[in-house]
Structure formats: structure tokens, C-alpha cells
Structure 1
Amino acid sequence: MSRAAGVRVAVREPAELGEGPTWDPAAGRLVWVDILGSRVHTYDPGSGRRTVLTTGQHVGAAKPRAGGGLVVNLRDGIGLYDGGGAFRWLLHDPVAGRRGNDAAVAPDGSLWAGTMRYDEAPGGGTLTRIAPDGTGTVVFPDVSVSNGTGWSPDGSLMYYIDTPTRRIDVCRVDGDSAVDRRPLATVEPGAGFPDGLTVDADGCVWVALWDGGALRRYTPEGALDRTVDLPVRRPTACAFGGPDLRDLYITTARTGLPRPHPLAGSLLVLPDAGAGLPGTPFAG
């Protein structure tokens, strides 16, 4: 089923590389980043209030912390902002030519943070589990563009995207590891590349298609059951938000496009798209 009607602009913004929307229930706001703009944005859909935090280096993701503030996946490692805006490093791990990319918080409160090389060299990135004390455990070495990560409603399965593979993979969660990795679905050539993802309350996986101008929803068995066409070419990620977690927010990008659509870089929303899952804040 294809559905384009109903997509609206939540925040009109010329972000170079908008990414990683996340609902923060404690603050009643959506958090997302502009990776290449080195900015963390927040948006309260009730009041319309917005804030912008400049990080000083490229920021792949920002997620709420249990005690307030944010955990951020930066170029040089994992950092923490407290509720007052003070910053400190949790895991400082700079690698020349590499930056942080998408990240997600697991049901146990750990951060699963991806990296990639700026030149997107094959095998130049990783997916690493960051414990609340800052201990890092590499889950997947030698990935290319570590992107969407999410968990099934019962937490037993993890979904993962290494974008150039064109696959959405599914794994079994075993403590701080993801094992038995296998393809759930593959995006065919010409339809774009899978980027960020979110899992809904039915256990279905929503995927943003970079250069595909659409979102797709896959069932837990890997069947495609819904497509949402978008007005922009490069959607990057999606997440349910709002007080009842029924509105689907979509980040977008304009980087690399000679003639970007006027809405490229903006935060879009599809109201009443389905039922989202409550997120878990980072426990560190």
C-alpha cells in the first residue's frame, strides 16, 4: 500500500544531514540531530518550542539520559551533556577519518553506537555497545555505514542496517551481543538505500529509504506491507513521538543534492501513523 497524503512539515529547517529522531517522554519533546551541522535540535509539538545545541564536532546521534541531559555519538567518541548543558566525555576514542553515526538505546539502557568513515570505505565502521560506565564492546566490526538499530517489542531480537548492503538484518540478542544475524529484507536496486529504522508496537520495522524518497514498513516476517511516499529524496530516519506515540516523525537531508527540494533538511511528520513503542533512556 502506498500512502503519500497526510505527511506534514513539523519543523522547516535546512539541515545538511538531519538524523536520529527520538521522542523524549520526560521532556515531552522530539530530539534529532544535523550531523554535518554539528547541532542537536529539540521540538515540543505541543508548544512549538525549539532549542538548538551546537556540539563543536559532527554528531551522529543524541539520546535522552535517565537522569536528564543527553548522550551524544560524536566524531571522537561518546559524550554526555547533563541537564544544565555541561559536557564531559564518557568514551573518548578518536580515529582519523572516522565519525559517529546512528545510535540507539537498548531495553537494558545501554547505547549501541555506530561509526563510519567519512569516505564510506568498506569495513571502516563498527557497531559498539556502550555500557552506562563507558565500557565499550564491539558488536559488529568491519561494517561500512552503520545505521538503523532497533529492538523487537519483547527485546529478544535486534534489527540492524549496514546501508551499502541494502539489507535490514535481524539478530538474536544474547546479553551484550547480537548473534545469528541474517537478512530480514533486502531493498531492491533503484528503490534507494535503507538508512534509519524504528520498530512499532506490532513488531513491524519502519525503514527510511535514502535516495528512495519513501518509508517502508516490513512485518516481523520480512514482508513489505506499507510504503509512504515523501516529498523529499533523502529521508534518513523515523521515530514515533507525541504523548501517545502515534505520530511518525521523519528526518531528512539535503547534503549532496545539487537542487534539493525546498523541504529537504526539514523534520516531517505523518500523524496517526500507528503505535510506537516507549523508548528507554540511556542509563549512564
Structure 2
Amino acid sequence: MERVDAPACAVGESPAWSALENAWYWVDIPARRVWRLDAASGAVASFAAPEMVACVTPAAGGGLVAGMESGIFALRLTPDGALDATLLAAPPTLGPGRRFNDGRCDRQGRFWSGTMCMDMGAARADGLLYRYDAVRGLSAPLAEGLVTQNGLAWSPDGCTMYLSDSHPSRQLIWAFDYDTVEGVPHNRRLFVDMNAYPGRPDGATVDADGCYWIAANDAGRLLRFTPDGHLDRELALPMAKPSMCCFGGAGLDTLLVTSIDPSAAGGGAPQGGWAGATLLLRPGVTGIPETPFGG
């Protein structure tokens, strides 16, 4: 296990591996920053965004696609450490106190992300899940009634979609049958009730065996569930609030894990140590290549 040589994040989220660049990306949501780690040199850089960036995914032609406060954006990194942001789509449900949250691409390169109310205490179940692609634009909501949308991932064949709600009042992970041609999920069903396990279900990824890795926020561990929903592995982590994990590296055998420092995020006593740190670890299994947006 290795700590990335980067400042701790208030809310580190959305690790993404760019095979094109041989680099990792992740975000610090309240800091409005996108971070980049060059896998070959170990060089770390950060880029200032004009508003909160909740999730990023590499684009096939370079740059990133991001879910932000006011919509879905194309991002280009500039040499002076800033981001050029171009609005791609904005659902009418966004506004003050709301933003996109977890997001990633399906196996066909369509971008998915959901909206949420930033006031977690309000527990408003009005979050919506959207799909965006360059040809059809922004979809109508394809899942409703979410408090804190999270946990998006797809099975290796792309035919199963996973989605979680990490709010303390929910703590559920669902699976859907997924139409890979039309990009539509259906047959929503309970995959894992995380109320029976330690931690809340935050961000997720899928490995080459089709197993679902979820960051157990508040429990300081990663949990690996088999495709039939059985827990078969736990990895203890040196921070209480891991937020998401992603496979990458040349052999797709490394997990990059982001985390949250609740004191820096505006809640709780100072934690220090590994709180908010970004780490790399090798779990002994490999991931599968993630399709970039438009790819």
C-alpha cells in the first residue's frame, strides 16, 4: 500500500484511469480541483475548476468529461493549471444547493451521472440518474428517488448495471439488466443491502472476474461482492472514509482509492493521518479497461 504524494482532499472522489495518458485522475469536490498522477514519473499536478467537480472520466479524444454543479462539461487541462470547461448538457433539475455526484461511462462510452441535494441532512429523495452521449444528448431521468446517488459500475460484458444510494437512510446497492444497444437499464433489483455490512456504499468498480468492489465509507475498508451478491473479501484501509476505487496501471492490477477528511469537508473533529489521502494498492486481481467517453 502506497500513499500518493499529494495533499489530503476534503472530499476526494472519482478516481479514473486514462490508458491514453498512462495517468490517474481524481477530484476534490469542495476544493474545485482535479488531480492528475503520471504513472511513469510519479508527478502529481492539480487543476482549478470554475465550480465543484464531482466526477470525471477520460474522453476518447483527450481531455475529460465531468459532472459538475451546473451540468455535464468537457474539460481541457491548460498549462497554467486551470481547466477550460465547455458545457455539454444541463438538466433543469439542477440549481442552487444541487450538483451531479458519482459518474462514469458504460462499456459503450456513454456517460452516466446522477444529481443530488448537497444538504445531506435534508435527505431529499429527489435525485435523478441521467445518461449523456454526443449523438442523443442528455436522456430523460432513467432512475428516480435517489438521495445520494453512487456506486455506478458495469459488469465485464456490460449487461448488468450497478447503482447505489449511500445516504445513511438508504445504504442499498441495486443491479439492473442493461440494454447495451439502447443504453437503458431495466429490471431493477436489490443486489446488496449494506445495512447488514459495515460502512455505507460509496463509489465502486468491477474487476475482471465480474466482482463488484465498493468503498465502505465510515468503515475504513473495501468490500468485494461476487456477481450473486455474496461478500467474499474485505480489505482494511488506513482511513475511515474511503470514497471510491478504480483499477488502473499498465496491467490494470492496481487500485487507486480516494478518501474524505470530514474535518476539512466541514464536519467532525480533525482526523489527521490518512484522512483525505489518496492511495495505491495491489489487491491481487485485475480490472478491465474502462471505455472512455465517446470511445
TM-score band (shorter)? over 0.9
| CA distance in 2: counterparts of 1:218 and 1:82, whole angstroms | 35
Query: How far apart, CA to CA, are the structure 2 residues paired with 1:65 and 1:276?
Result: 19
2:163 maps to which of 120, 141, 160: 160
Taking structure 2 as the reference length, what is the TM-score of the superposition?
A: 0.90
Q: Does the residue aligned with 1:11 lie in a helix, a strand or coil?
A: coil
Q: Percent identity?
A: 35
Q: Kindly report which structure 2 residues correspond to 1:123-272, keeping only aligned pairs within 5 A, or say none.
A: 123-133=125-135, 134-164=137-167, 165-174=170-179, 175-188=182-195, 191-255=198-262, 256-272=267-283
Coordinate RMSD, CA, aligned: 1.6
Q: Are 1:64 and 2:58 counterparts?
A: yes
Structure 2 partner of 1:21: 15
> Which stretch shows the higher mean deviation, 202-211 or 122-131?
122-131
> Counterpart in 2 of 1:95?
95
- Once residues 241 and 6 of structure 2 are traced to their aligned partners in structure 1, the CA distance between those partners, rounded to angstroms, is 15
Amino acid paired to 2:109: G
The alignment partner of 1:14 has SS state of coil
Compute the TM-score of the two structures, normalised by the length of structure 1: 0.93
**Counterpart pick for 2:24 among 30, 38, 55:** 30
Distance (Å, rounded) in 2 between the aligned partners of 1:96 and 1:224: 39
User: What is the total number of aligned residue pairs between the two structures?
Assistant: 278
Structure 1 outlier segments of 4+, above 4 Å = none
Deviates more, 1:229-238 or 1:74-83: 74-83
Contact 1:206/1:218, CA 8 A, preserved across alignment: yes
CA displacement 1:203-233 (0-9 Å, x = unmatched): 0000001111110000001110000011111
Structure 1 counterpart of 2:280, one-letter code: V
1:78 aligns with 2:59: no
DSSP 3-state at the match of 1:244: coil
**How far off its partner does 1:196 sit?**
0.4
User: 1:4 corresponds to which residue?
Assistant: none
Write the distance in 2 (CA, Å) between the matches of 1:200 and 1:153. 8
Task: Please tell me whether the aligned partners of residues 10 and 30 of structure 2 are also in contact (alpha carbons under 8 angstroms).
Answer: yes
Q: What SS class does the counterpart of residue 188 from structure 1 fall into?
A: helix
| Cα drift, residue 51 of structure 1 | 1.8
By how many angstroms is 1:83 displaced?
6.1
